[in-house]
Structure 1
Amino acid sequence: MTNQAAPPLATAPNFRDIGGCTTRSGARVRTGVAFRSDALDRLDPAETATLTELGVGRIIDLRTAFERGNKPDVLPEGAEYTVLDVQGDHSTGADLVQVLTDPGRAEAVFGDGGATRFMHDVNRILVSAADARAGYAETVRRIAAGPGATVVHCSAGKDRTGWAAALVLGILDVPRETIVADYLASNDRLARLHAAMRAACESSGVDHALVRPMLECRRAYLDEAYGEVERVYGSFEGYVRDGLGLDRATTDALRARMLEP
């Protein structure tokens, strides 16, 4: 399992260290180098101070323009802020808001398994879409380059950020089951998301059960991403090399920074 000992951020409950686990060869992944999180728009001064104390020097925001404009990050003093939108600045967030205000449209879009199919589509896109590949490749480069710790986040910290964490841990040769466990750990940290979505659905008359599949991490979703890796690139190594265009020097630098000797 990955390390859960990083100081919690009450306003970002899905904040946690990517490190703390072990690789197939038994090497330990360093803590304090890369963190994953949900949105950082509600941080209070004590929480930004916590990030500073953790040595965070870079925030990577994977969200769309709509999400960033609606809930801009609160940054620790001196931290570098980098936007690596893995969904191409499209209007998914705005579109979803509109759908969730219309019960009939919500039923048409998300009913009959539509929400689950949507999540499978999202996880394939995160692997093979050009903007996603560019964003994830640059995420790896920046973590590998340092200096200081990096926080990678999206809105809920489960899908886009989940794949970022899976990518980093995969390059480090962490076992797949450990990566899956880290991915699924988000489910215990999403109470606020569930409550907010339930309230939104109740106010608009949308059946909350329709959207529940989008609020969860399911192994099948991550398996969909790995299946896309195999289908398009033949292997995880092929995805890293050919899909992301990461050279050996970059992956070696990531291992040097994140693996204890």
Structure 2
Amino acid sequence: MLRRIPLGKMNNLRDLGGYPAGDGVTVWERFLRGDNPAGLSEQDIQWLRERDITTIVDLRSGEELARQPDQLRGQPGFLYHHCPLVGIEKLPNLEADIGRAYFEAMDRLTCVGRAMRILAAAPGGVLFHCTAGKDRTGILAMLLLSLAGVAREDILADYQISETYLAEIIQLIQLRVPDLAAFAGQSRREYLEECMDLLLDKYGSVPDYLRAAGLTDGELETLRHKLLA
């Protein structure tokens, strides 16, 4: 099955299925990670329905949502949740601060906890997204894959590939905005690696972090079941 999914004008829509995790692999068509749904045809939308992708979690700010509406919001058959993950709407000025900025966003436990509880309660498959599908979306993907027991190297590789898929659109943006930071479209492994190290130093493990964010053991088990069953 395809990990990268070509739908509409989405450049970074991917499936979290197929990763080795313990004695099994993560389930296909259960959790999709992506950039903002845009340019979708009726066939594209029907493709999602046919795969029981019933829940949309939008991690963007209200300002981003106003500028670029989510095309799936209000579509029949989809439950839409606006769940802003605040703190990294804009990247820091220094590249060296990106990993810490990720962690500081995660340390706002209420935001992440609400998003993860929505994923646990979703009746079918979930598409969660931000604007580019890289930073905020990458944080949630890291938490899910970690919870499933996916190897750290695979989690970092899943994060890194965003840079490849976004390269063309970032080049176009840089032509229009010459002072855009050179690292704006990058997803280097060290960014997420630092974030993961900071999380483990403070909370001990991803499950303990998610408990601190308000998830119950039952919700954690539900997420694992969705990821692996």
Superposition TM-score, scaled by structure 1 size: 0.79
Residue 21 of structure 1 aligns with which residue? 19
Cα deviation, 1:115-170, whole Å, max 9, x if unaligned, reads x0342342122221x2xx22322232222223111100001101100010010111
- Alignment partners' CA distance in 2, 1:192 and 1:42: 17
1:149 paired with 2:125, answer yes
- Please state which structure has a larger fraction of its residues in helix: 1
Residue 250 of structure 1 aligns with which residue? 219
Other structure's SS at 1:150 match: strand
Residue 159 of structure 2 aligns with which residue? 183
Q: Please give the root-mean-square deviation of Cα atoms over the aligned residues, in Å.
A: 2.2
- Alignment partners' CA distance in 2, 1:47 and 1:40: 10
Cα deviation, 1:6-61, whole Å, max 9, x if unaligned, reads 642141121011121121x2222111111000011332323222222221111100
Q: 2:202 aligns with which of 232, 243, 248?
A: 232
Cα deviation, 1:43-97, whole Å, max 9, x if unaligned, reads 2323222222221111100001111000001014321110110107x9x56xx8x
Structure 1: 5+ residue runs without aligned partners? 97-108
- Alignment partners' CA distance in 2, 1:73 and 1:145: 21
Q: 1:34 aligns with which of 27, 31, 34?
A: 31
C-alpha contact 2:54 2:123 (8 A) present in aligned 1: yes
Residue 85 of structure 2 aligns with which residue? 86
Closer/same/farther in 2, CA of residues 159 and 6 from structure 1, 3 Å limit: closer
Residue 100 of structure 1 aligns with which residue? none
Rg (Cα) greater in structure = 1
Q: Report matched runs for 1:87-236 at 5 Å.
A: 87=86, 92=89, 110=93, 114=94, 116-128=95-107, 130=108, 133-202=109-178, 206=179, 208=180, 211-236=181-206
Structure 2: 5+ residue runs without aligned partners? none
1:44 paired with 2:41, answer yes
- Alignment partners' CA distance in 1, 2:193 and 2:121: 29
Q: Report matched runs for 1:2-17 at 5 Å.
A: 4-5=2-3, 7-17=5-15
